[in-house]
Structure formats: structure tokens, C-alpha cells
Homo-oligomer: A and B are copies of this chain.
Amino acid sequence: MSTSGSTIAAGSAGTVETRFLDLPAPVPLDCGRSLHPVRVAYETYGTLSPARDNVILVCHALSGDAHAAGYSAAPSAEASTRDGFGADDRDGSAGKALGWWDGMIGPGKAFDTDRFFVVSTNLLGGCRGTTGPSSVDQATGKPYGTDFPVITVADMVRVERAFLDELGIARLAAVAGGSLGGMQALEWAVSYPDQVDAAVVIASTHALGPQGVAWNAIARDAIMRDPAWQGGHYYGTGSAPSDGMGIARMVGHITYLSAPALDDKFGRRLQFADDIRYTLTEPEYEVESYLRYQAASFVKRFDANTYLYTSRALTYFDLARSYGSGSLERALDRVAARALLIAFSSDWLYPPSASTEIADALRTLGKPVELQVIDAPYGHDCFLLEEARQTPIIRRFLEEPS
């Protein structure tokens, strides 16, 4: 909606502003509780067609936000980093000038804003404008902390559905996302089959395997074992579980990248000259220093409780359990949307096998599905980094008639 073209590079969604919308009714949650009020932070790119039939909802991953594309109207002092391993910086993009999926959303891009009206929201439980554990609980006048209900991916999607209702949008031409964003896209296709024409599910899964469950449990435990977490009620205490969050982020980082990518980028290069300094406490290797830097920058921009809730939600996500009595095929039986699945050969956190399982189930059911496994070295981060190779695949898929 808000686009200005004067000083903006070709292909950019332009300068965008994050907006906020309060849902009119309480949102019922899977856990049995309901949540009210719920505010949603969102951005839009492109123009809504008169028939309201050109809407693409973009869903973000664990540490993302509503600022998916274009330049932020309120840029921070920090510069955007889009080179090399900058995925982390864009993934969250808090206050950063450039949106976390800017390479994918804009005029002529994969999600082409010359044709589509692209909507991006901060997810339920978030810390970037949408109601989450750091929001004020109107019942107490204080931030929820861990009194916030434990939420699921289905709850996130329920909020997105209610939010789009307020915008007067009944149908989605497509719903798209990577990682946890891809889980939301799948959930949309299953929960609202008659309202989604196409789903673009990237580097995602129908259910995380036990290794992924374990990484998430370790990250959450690192936060919860930090005494500064204070049972989740650290807001206003002057401290926050930054040490634990830092560890969680480091674990995340290494699981987002592949071993060969780390070999290429860092090898065993030392920080200082070509010799070790015999230190326990200081980083010696470049990769050690890199991890500490990423941890320190992440804790400045992200809320630890949001990390916990979001990590728990993506761990719980399990289409077969929720909708198929254990059968993925049964769960997907209600899907009506065309599906595009993209996976990356080096992604060991959300391995291609999960996408293959989804594709196989859809094919068995006779439903339209396209699976593309891109041979690329950057691990799970590929969904943020390999924009150029995803673009023609997504453009072609979106051009096909429904």
C-alpha cells in the first residue's frame, strides 16, 4: 500500500511502514483458553485488486517479524547486512532498513508486487508488535510473561485468519513461508482448505524429527535455566535472560548452517595471527567469535519468552497427529490448494525427506503438488539466502492457473 519510488532501487517494495490492527473478538486457542485483546503488526506490499483475489500471505520463521520487504519507514542506525551469512540479521530484521525476505518480495520478484498484494504479519506470540508474552495482560496490567497461554501453529493461523477478515480478505491466492512460516502455510491449507488457492512451503516439515525437537528443547532449557529468566517474569526487573538466549541463538545458528558452509566460511582460522593464546574464556577461532557476535546482537532485538513460545509451537506442530489420527495422508486429505514444496539439499534441520513425505502423501491423494529440491550448500538458511534460485520456481508456480 505505502510505496514511494523516488530513491528506491528497481524491484524494491519501497518504503514501508509497519501498521497495527486490533482484532475485535477473542481468539479461541488450542489449549482451551482464549486471548483478548489481540493486536497484529503487519505490512503490505503491492495493491489489492478490486476483486480482492490477488492476496499472498507471507508467514515468517522463528525470529522474524512483519517487516518482510522494502525499506523500513523508521530505519535504525544499524545497516542491513545482506551479504554472506546475513540471513540471521534479516531473519529478525528488528529495526533494520531492509525486510527479511526483500529479495523475494517486490516488483518482478518471486512474490511479484506488480501483480500480487502481499501481506506479512508478525505471528501470535511475537515480540515485534503482535500480542505475545511481553504484551500487557489487561487482567493484571502487567506483561503476561509465562501467564501467556501456550500456543500452537494452528493458533497463529487462526489469528492470521481473523486479521485478514478485518482487512476484508476472504481468500488467499497463496500462502507462503519458510521453516515455521512453511508450517503456517501447511496449516492454512489444512485448516482453511476452501480459502487457499496455493501454498508455497519452503524448507519446512509436517512434523519436526526428534533431532530438531532436541535442539529446540536445548535452546529453551538454556533460556529457562538462566536465573535472569525468573520463571518468565523478568519484564520490568532490569534484567533479562540474555546469557541463556545467547546460547539458544548459538545452537540455532549452527543448526541453520551446514558443516561444509562453515568449512568454507571459517575453516579453522584463528582470530589472532596464526597462533593460539591458551585461553579458556576468549574466542580463539573465527567461528567462536562469530557465534558470540550473533548471540550478542540477537539478544538485543528479541524477547526470550517469545523464543520459548514460538519454539514450543513449532515443536508441537504435527499435521498427522492433529488432523490424521497419526496418518499424514489422512491429515492432508482435506487440502484443496495447489502445493509447491521447496527443500534444500544441505538442510539437515528441515531435511528434504520431510518435503518428500508431504509430496508423496499429496500425490497418493491425487492432489496437485510440485516438489523442488535445490542443491545448495548453506543448510536451512538457504530459504533466506538462495533467493535467486527460488524465484523462477515460485514465479512459474504462481503463474499457473488454479
Asked if residues A210 and B287 are in contact (CB atoms below 8 Å), the reply is yes
Given known pairs A218-B247, A312-B280, the reply for A213 and B288 (CB within 8 Å) is yes
Instruction: Give a binary string over A216-238; 1 marks a CB under 8 Å from any B CB, 0 the rest.
Output: 01101110111100001000000
**Chain A contacts with B in 1-47, Cβ cutoff 8 A:** 30-31
| A222 touches which of B214, B247, B280, B318 (Cβ 8 Å) | B247
Asked if residues B246 and A225 are in contact (CB atoms below 8 Å), the reply is yes
Given known pairs A225-B244, A276-B316, the reply for A218 and B149 (CB within 8 Å) is no
Q: How far is the CA of A351 from the CA of B228 in the complex (A)?
A: 38
Chain B residues within an 8 Å CB radius of A279 = 150
Number of A residues, CB within 8 Å of B? 60
Chain B residues within an 8 Å CB radius of A227 = 227
Asked if residues B348 and A287 are in contact (CB atoms below 8 Å), the reply is no
Instruction: Judge whether A215 is part of the interface by a CB distance below 8 angstroms.
Output: yes
Closest approach, in angstroms, between the C-beta of A98 and any C-beta of chain B? Answer: 27
Instruction: Judge whether A54 is part of the interface by a CB distance below 8 angstroms.
Output: no
Q: Which residue of B lies closest to A225 (CB)?
A: B243
Closest approach, in angstroms, between the C-beta of A211 and any C-beta of chain B? Answer: 4
Asked if residues B149 and A263 are in contact (CB atoms below 8 Å), the reply is no
| A209 touches which of B211, B243, B263, B288 (Cβ 8 Å) | B263
Q: Which residue of B lies closest to A212 (CB)?
A: B259
Chain B residues within an 8 Å CB radius of A284 = 315-316
Tell me the dominant secondary structure on chain A's binding face. Answer: helix
| A218 touches which of B250, B266, B276, B285 (Cβ 8 Å) | B250
Q: How far is the CA of A28 from the CA of B236 in the complex (A)?
A: 52
Chain B residues within an 8 Å CB radius of A287 = 210, 213-214, 217
Q: List 29 A-B contacts (CB under 8 A).
A: A150-B278, A207-B268, A208-B268, A209-B268, A210-B265, A210-B266, A210-B267, A210-B285, A211-B254, A211-B262, A211-B263, A213-B268, A213-B285, A214-B250, A214-B262, A217-B250, A217-B283, A217-B285, A218-B247, A218-B250, A218-B254, A222-B247, A226-B243, A247-B247, A259-B351, A268-B321, A274-B321, A284-B315, A285-B315
Instruction: Judge whether A292 is part of the interface by a CB distance below 8 angstroms.
Output: yes
Q: How far is the CA of A279 from the CA of B218 in the complex (A)?
A: 15
Asked if residues A210 and B243 are in contact (CB atoms below 8 Å), the reply is no
Closest approach, in angstroms, between the C-beta of A35 and any C-beta of chain B? Answer: 13
Instruction: Judge whether A163 is part of the interface by a CB distance below 8 angstroms.
Output: no
Q: How far is the CA of A149 from the CA of B222 in the complex (A)?
A: 28
